[in-house]
Amino acid sequence: MALTKSSVSTQDALCVTHEADFMMIDGLFVGGEKGDVQITCSFQKGQKKAVLHDTKPYEKISEHIGLYPVVLISPNDTDIVRDGSEERRKFFDGVISQIDREYLETLIKYNKVLLQRNALLKQFAEKNYFDADLLDIYSEPIIECGIELQKKRAVFLSKFTPIFQKHYANLSESREDVRLVYETDVDADTFRNDFTKNRQRDLAAQRTTLGIHKDDFSFEINAFPLKKYGSQGQQKSYVIALKLAQFELLALEKGFQPILLLDDIFDKLDDRRIQQLINMMVDGTFQQVFLTDARPERTQQLLSHLTVEVLYFDVTQGK
């Protein structure tokens, strides 16, 4: 209801129960600037996904992103460290998109034109012909949007990095030095020329080989790659620090705290990190938190001493 998509799958069809034709989730965001707001998200096989704001559909679903900011911490988060650059771009694009609507719109346009340009390059190879003017129609928005997105990513990282480093220092008791390095081939002064010179390489590869879709974010610990040299504990601390920095920056930019989702993390985190998260619930760092746990007795024991309001929902019993 916050981001209009599943946190697990990029395909809406996989949210539909087996043997069913559609899915729908409906809920109420209470006490915001606009009062209580009903959000409905539905998807029917063979049709487009629909998102309704107080029963009125959005013209563009992207208009909804960022209205109800949310941060998710889950067992799969270390994929950001271990997997390829796409996972890291996906994470940072998701954070920036909740803050900057213009960034999201530009990113959507860029990805759409990128697919079209790649299809055209493949068509040139299959039909053994080339039309420079036609290719330029798709190249120009790639260049313009790429430069704009690169600038926004760089500005975002300048704000995000010190907050992230603060949280990592807190989690690790300042035992290591961590860095977050933005790697890109896009330079505002030279990218147009670089992209044009790269045309022959694109034709040979049948895809666009230069642009912000190739960007990466390098995670370092004590000046070494975290993926190769970081222990499991260090990787977990790094990722949690990323998520806590996301939470803090969203709160600063929005003027109110995001909803925090903790998905089945107790099997993956040690007692010290769990206790730090619980302390942040008590001291007011977090406001509304949703926890999931396959062992409810463990959660009840961990939260039993909290002075904040706690409600339990047993989905297996429908309570």
Quick: pLDDT tens for 228-252.
998 888 898 899 999 999 999 999 9
pLDDT higher than 60, residue 192: yes
**Confidence class of residue 200 from pLDDT cuts 50, 70 and 90?**
very high
d(CA 234, CA 240): 10
Q: Per the structure block, which two tokens stand in for 17? A: 């129960």
d(CA 241, CA 221): 13
Contact assessment for residue 241 and residue 270, using Cβ atoms and an 8 Å cutoff = no
**Confidence class of residue 59 from pLDDT cuts 50, 70 and 90?**
confident
Cα dihedral across residues 85, 180, 290, 269: positive or negative: positive
d(CA 169, CA 178): 9
Mean pLDDT of the region 145-163: 96
Mean pLDDT of the region 200-222: 95
Residue entry with tokens 């209470």: 30
pLDDT higher than 60, residue 319: no
**pLDDT of the residue at 233:** 84
> In the sheet that 35-44 helps form, which strands lie side by side, from edge to edge?
22-32, 35-44, 50-53, 56-57
Please give the DSSP secondary-structure letter assigned to residue 43. Answer: E
d(CA 138, CA 118): 9
* Angle in degrees, CA 113, 114, 117, rounded to 5: 85
Q: Name residues whose C-beta falls within 8 Å of residue 319's C-beta, 6 or more positions apart in sequence.
A: 312, 313
**pLDDT of the residue at 250:** 95
**Confidence class of residue 318 from pLDDT cuts 50, 70 and 90?**
low
pLDDT higher than 80, residue 317: no
**Confidence class of residue 172 from pLDDT cuts 50, 70 and 90?**
confident
Going by their DSSP bridges, the two strands 178-183 and 35-44 should be labelled as unpaired
Q: Which of 281, 240, 238 is nearest to 74 (CA)?
A: 240
Each residue's pLDDT tens digit, 62-82: 899 999 999 999 888 889 999
pLDDT higher than 90, residue 114: yes
**pLDDT of the residue at 266:** 77
0.75 surpassed by pTM: yes
Contact assessment for residue 23 and residue 16, using Cβ atoms and an 8 Å cutoff = yes
d(CA 231, CA 188): 37
> Helix, strand or coil for residue 266?
coil
Q: Name residues whose C-beta falls within 8 Å of residue 55's C-beta, 6 or more positions apart in sequence.
A: 38, 40
